[in-house]
Structure 1
Amino acid sequence: MRFIRSLLLLIYFVVATVPYATACFIAFPFLRAENRYWMAAGWCRLTLWTVRYLNGIRYRIEGFENLPNGPAVLLSKHQSAWETIAFPALMPRPLCYVFKRELLYVPFFGWALGMLKMVHINRKEGKYAFESVTNQGKARMAEGAWVIMFPEGTRTPTGKQGKYKTGGARFAIATGAPVVPIAHNAGRVWPRNSFTKYPGIVTVSIGKPIETTGLTPDEVNTRVEQWIEAEMRRIDPTAYSAAANDSAAAPI
């Protein structure tokens, strides 16, 4: 049954994404940038509704009151595709993802991104790439958006910890914005590189803002990593105890 439901979700993505993106392309030229964003985020809300009733995937949010009323850089755990879809639907402000410029050329998905005010990296700019990202991020935050990054860079398996890169911390310091750490266990229900989706509740935990003034990128990054990883072990203790047991049982 899980396989069938997961197959139906794949069909939903094929059937729903193309017409929704087409509707966005038609409407976007007539909408302000913020309204374009919320129209696109409607697809995310529709998808959350779909996976709830089709796959039994629900969520709860802890620490929502920690979100600041001002500019911020959100640094989140990255386990799944779920959070990339869910966060635009759950956050009270527009989010700007930082992504590689090449994604703009992906049919429908990338084209829609190109019509939204996101932050893209052109690696061909070399040492000027980070300066470009900083300038784009400052402009977006001045308009009321939050910038979101995944410091681990890539999705990590449940119960595992990736290497936290300092790019998000450097960006926050360069823009003068506080950092908001976010932990979640979406990998439990939507594992990376897995076709099958599993019923369950995703816990999203939002930490208190970390002021970046006077701190180095390494100091900010360490605080973010320590909070997220400690919180991961609180909200999903069995995943980490299982990982520890597997490690202990591994042959030397």
Structure 2
Amino acid sequence: MLPLIRGLLFQLGFIGSTLVFGLLVPPLIWPLSRPARYRVLTQWGRFNVWWLRVTCGVDYRVRGTEHIDSSRPHVVLSKHQSAWETVAFVAIFPMQTWVLKRELMRIPLFGWTLSMLDPVPIDREAGRQALENLVAEGQQRLDQGRWVIVFPEGTRVAPGEHGRYRQGGAILAARTGYPVLPVALNSGSFWPKKGLRRYPGTIEVVVGPPIETAGRKPIEVLSEAEEWIETTMAGIEPRPAKPSSEEPHGQ
């Protein structure tokens, strides 16, 4: 029962902070520059990372920080198990934006605020045109100095699962020549895809060596990133997706 109670308490703060940052903050910061708006709005993510630690005992540890070179933008290809990474990456990587489903932009409050951070929305039904838009808008963000976060599996996958890796992020990187940074993480063992339970412990985030893309085929870049991510995953997620008891785990 304890993980559920903790999860409910966290959810109250999560919803409350979303209302504040989605309804009250945007009108106040609209006149500010893009970097200033980014600094303010991403405090929502930082707050919820802190609130998750306070209410649910979920912390995180990053290995491979020496690979995060802030002197030039990267395309991050990351494992996606939980909502956690969409909240916490602002505290790990430099100024960034995200490739995401266009439908998210239509969510009241959340989507409107998200639009102020200039994400790269993708209409999955647009076929080839969606890919061209991804490359064009993604390059614009990279050229402006922002990192682009891509979840190549397209949706959250449960711990131990391996989704199909899509080429969009690799195509963006290969065509523009920006390096890829692969990321493995086990957030789904602590913040599951479904339900309100949150399980205490330390999320492992592992950042791999950058993958140079200039002159390479997207499929080669994607295969190298996928192999590194999935090989690394095997070493950081021995925990089951759904704990068999209510006892805290992962510590």
Q: Equivalent residue for 1:248?
A: none
Rounded Cα–Cα distance in structure 2 between residues aligned with 1:193 and 1:118: 25
- Cα gap change, 1:238/1:198 in structure 2, threshold over 3 Å: closer, same or farther? closer
Q: Equivalent residue for 1:244?
A: none
Residue 125 of structure 1 and its aligned partner are, at CA, apart by 5.2
- Secondary structure class of the residue paired with 1:201: strand
The answer on whether the counterparts of 1:178 and 1:211 sit within 8 Å (CA) in structure 2 is: yes
Q: Equivalent residue for 2:96?
A: 95
Rounded Cα–Cα distance in structure 1 between residues aligned with 2:177 and 2:216: 11
Q: Is 1:58 matched up with 2:59?
A: yes
How many residues get paired? 239
Rounded Cα–Cα distance in structure 1 between residues aligned with 2:37 and 2:159: 34
Q: Is 1:220 matched up with 2:221?
A: yes
For residues 44-123 of structure 1, the aligned pairs below 5 Å read 44-68=45-69, 69-91=71-93, 93-123=94-124
Residue 20 of structure 1 and its aligned partner are, at CA, apart by 2.2
Runs of 5+ unmatched residues, structure 1: 241-252
TM-score normalised by L of structure 1: 0.90
**Which one is further off, 115-124 or 45-54?**
115-124
Rounded Cα–Cα distance in structure 2 between residues aligned with 1:237 and 1:29: 45
Rounded Cα–Cα distance in structure 1 between residues aligned with 2:81 and 2:115: 25
Q: Deviations over 1:64-85 (max 9, x none)?
A: 1101221210000011111111
Q: Deviations over 1:25-76 (max 9, x none)?
A: 1223221111111111101000011000100000111001101221210000
Residue 219 of structure 1 and its aligned partner are, at CA, apart by 1.0
**Which one is further off, 110-119 or 201-210?**
110-119
The answer on whether the counterparts of 1:33 and 1:117 sit within 8 Å (CA) in structure 2 is: no
Write the letter of the residue equivalent to 1:193. K
The answer on whether the counterparts of 2:187 and 2:203 sit within 8 Å (CA) in structure 1 is: yes
Among the aligned pairs, what percent are the same residue? 42
Rounded Cα–Cα distance in structure 1 between residues aligned with 2:156 and 2:136: 27
Write the letter of the residue equivalent to 2:81. Q
Rounded Cα–Cα distance in structure 2 between residues aligned with 1:72 and 1:160: 26
Runs of 5+ unmatched residues, structure 2: 242-251
- Secondary structure class of the residue paired with 1:99: strand
Ranges of 4+ aligned residues in structure 1 off by more than 6 Å? none
Q: Equivalent residue for 1:201?
A: 202
Rounded Cα–Cα distance in structure 2 between residues aligned with 1:228 and 1:125: 28
Write the letter of the residue equivalent to 2:32. L
Rounded Cα–Cα distance in structure 1 between residues aligned with 2:63 and 2:14: 29
- Cα gap change, 1:221/1:124 in structure 2, threshold over 3 Å: closer, same or farther? closer
Rounded Cα–Cα distance in structure 2 between residues aligned with 1:217 and 1:94: 24
Rounded Cα–Cα distance in structure 2 between residues aligned with 1:157 and 1:125: 27
Q: Deviations over 1:155-201 (max 9, x none)?
A: 11111111111111111112211110000110110011132110000
**Which one is further off, 57-66 or 216-225?**
216-225
Rounded Cα–Cα distance in structure 1 between residues aligned with 2:193 and 2:147: 25
Rounded Cα–Cα distance in structure 2 between residues aligned with 1:234 and 1:103: 32
Write the letter of the residue equivalent to 1:71. P
